[in-house]
Structure 1
Amino acid sequence: MPISSSPEPTVPSCAPPSRVRCRVAATVKALLGLTLTAAALVWGLPRAVGASWSQIGATIAGIPTWGLVALALLWAIGICSHTIMLAAAMPGLRHRQSLLMSQTGAAVANTLPLGGAAGTAVNFSMVRRWGFTGVDFARYAMVTNLWDTLFKLGLPVLAVTWLGATSPGENALFWTAMWSLLLLAAVVAGAGVLLRSDRLAHAAGHRAGRLAVRAGREVDPAAWARRAGEMRWDTAGLVARAWPRLTAGNVLYVVLQTALLGGCLLAVGASVDPAVVFAAYAAQQVLSLASLTPGAAGVVEVGMAGVLVALGVPAPAAAAGILVYRGFTFALEIPVGGSALVWWLVRGRHRAVSARPVPASADVEPAPTHVTHPPYVLPTPAYAVD
Structure 2
Amino acid sequence: MSTPESSDVSTAHPGRGAWITRIVLLVVAVLSSVTIVRLVGQVDWEAAWDALTHLSWWHPVVLLAVVLVRQILLAMPLRFFIRGVTFYRATINDLGATLMSLIAPPPSDIALRVSMFKSWGVSPAKGLAGTVMNSLTFYIARFSAPLLGFVLLLAVGESPSLRWLELLSIAVAVGILVTVLMVVRSDRLARTVGTRAGLIVRRFRRAVDPDRWADACQSFRADIAERFHSGFPLAVLSQVGMMVVDLVTLTLCLRFVGVSANEVGFVWIGIAYLFAFPFTVFPLWGIGIVDALILAALVEAGGREIEAAAVAGLIVWRVFTVGLPVLLGAVAVAAWRREIAVAGTSRPS
Residue 163 of structure 1 corresponds to: 153
Q: State the AA in 2 paired with 1:87.
A: R
Q: State the AA in 2 paired with 1:249.
A: S
Trace 1:188-227 onto structure 2 (pairs within 5 A): 188-206=177-195, 225-227=214-216
| 1:65 and 2:60 are equivalent in the alignment | no
How far is the alpha carbon of 1:97 from its aligned partner? Answer: 0.8
CA contact (8 A) 1:139 1:235 kept: yes
How far is the alpha carbon of 1:264 from its aligned partner? Answer: 0.9
Residue 88 of structure 1 corresponds to: 80
Residue 253 of structure 2 corresponds to: 264
* Larger radius of gyration between Structure 1 and Structure 2: 1
Q: Structure 1 residues 320, 187: CA separation in 2 closer, same or farther (over 3 Å shift)?
A: same
| 1:134 and 2:117 are equivalent in the alignment | no
Q: State the AA in 1 paired with 2:331.
A: S
Q: Structure 1 residues 124, 174: CA separation in 2 closer, same or farther (over 3 Å shift)?
A: closer
Q: Unaligned stretches of 5+ in structure 1?
A: 1-7, 359-386
User: For 1:215-266, what per-residue CA distance to the aligned partner results, in whole angstroms no more than 9, with x for missing partners?
Assistant: 669x8x7565344224224434422122342133223222222111111111
Q: Distance between the aligned counterparts of 2:236 and 2:18, measured in 1?
A: 36
| 1:344 and 2:326 are equivalent in the alignment | no
Q: Distance between the aligned counterparts of 1:45 and 1:52, measured in 2?
A: 16
Q: Distance between the aligned counterparts of 2:83 and 2:300, measured in 1?
A: 44
Q: State the AA in 2 paired with 1:232.
A: R
Q: Structure 1 residues 60, 152: CA separation in 2 closer, same or farther (over 3 Å shift)?
A: same
Q: Unaligned stretches of 5+ in structure 2?
A: none
Q: State the AA in 2 paired with 1:316.
A: A
User: For 1:116-162, what per-residue CA distance to the aligned partner results, in whole angstroms no more than 9, with x for missing partners?
Assistant: 74323321221122221122123212321221111112211111221
**75-84 vs 321-330, which moves further:** 75-84
Residue 327 of structure 2 corresponds to: 335
How far is the alpha carbon of 1:96 from its aligned partner? Answer: 1.3
How far is the alpha carbon of 1:103 from its aligned partner? Answer: 1.2
CA contact (8 A) 1:45 1:319 kept: no
Q: Structure 1 residues 37, 156: CA separation in 2 closer, same or farther (over 3 Å shift)?
A: closer
Q: State the AA in 1 paired with 2:66.
A: L
User: For 1:181-212, what per-residue CA distance to the aligned partner results, in whole angstroms no more than 9, with x for missing partners?
Assistant: 77755654454334325334213445677889
Residue 108 of structure 2 corresponds to: 118
How far is the alpha carbon of 1:297 from its aligned partner? Answer: 2.6
Higher helix share: 2
CA contact (8 A) 1:60 1:320 kept: yes
| 1:276 and 2:276 are equivalent in the alignment | no
Trace 1:45-60 onto structure 2 (pairs within 5 A): 47=38, 49-50=40-41, 51-60=43-52
Q: Distance between the aligned counterparts of 2:130 and 2:185, measured in 1?
A: 18
Query: Residue 310 of structure 1 is aligned with which of 291, 295, 300?
Result: 300
TM-score by length of 2: 0.77
Q: Distance between the aligned counterparts of 2:300 and 2:37, measured in 1?
A: 14
Q: Structure 1 residues 173, 82: CA separation in 2 closer, same or farther (over 3 Å shift)?
A: same
Q: Structure 1 residues 79, 297: CA separation in 2 closer, same or farther (over 3 Å shift)?
A: same
CA contact (8 A) 1:160 1:173 kept: no
Q: Distance between the aligned counterparts of 1:182 and 1:24, measured in 2?
A: 30
Q: Distance between the aligned counterparts of 1:13 and 1:183, measured in 2?
A: 27
| Structure 1 SS opposite 2:121 | coil
**63-72 vs 242-251, which moves further:** 242-251
CA contact (8 A) 2:29 2:289 kept: yes
Q: Distance between the aligned counterparts of 1:207 and 1:181, measured in 2?
A: 23
Q: Distance between the aligned counterparts of 1:240 and 1:40, measured in 2?
A: 40
Aligned positions, number? 337
How far is the alpha carbon of 1:48 from its aligned partner? Answer: 5.5
RMSD: 4.1
Q: State the AA in 2 paired with 1:260.
A: T
Q: Structure 1 residues 48, 64: CA separation in 2 closer, same or farther (over 3 Å shift)?
A: farther
CA contact (8 A) 1:155 1:282 kept: yes
CA contact (8 A) 2:40 2:299 kept: yes
Q: State the AA in 1 paired with 2:271.
A: A
How far is the alpha carbon of 1:316 from its aligned partner? Answer: 1.0
Q: Distance between the aligned counterparts of 2:59 and 2:160, measured in 1?
A: 39
User: For 1:35-65, what per-residue CA distance to the aligned partner results, in whole angstroms no more than 9, with x for missing partners?
Assistant: 8888888x67864543222121111122111
Residue 235 of structure 1 corresponds to: 224
User: For 1:254-305, what per-residue CA distance to the aligned partner results, in whole angstroms no more than 9, with x for missing partners?
Assistant: 22221111111111111232222222332443111123xx443323322322
Residue 149 of structure 1 corresponds to: 139
Q: Structure 1 residues 173, 246: CA separation in 2 closer, same or farther (over 3 Å shift)?
A: same
TM-score by length of 1: 0.71
Q: Distance between the aligned counterparts of 1:158 and 1:128, measured in 2?
A: 39
| Structure 1 SS opposite 2:302 | coil
CA contact (8 A) 1:63 1:267 kept: yes
CA contact (8 A) 2:139 2:173 kept: no
Residue 301 of structure 1 corresponds to: 291
Q: Structure 1 residues 124, 299: CA separation in 2 closer, same or farther (over 3 Å shift)?
A: farther
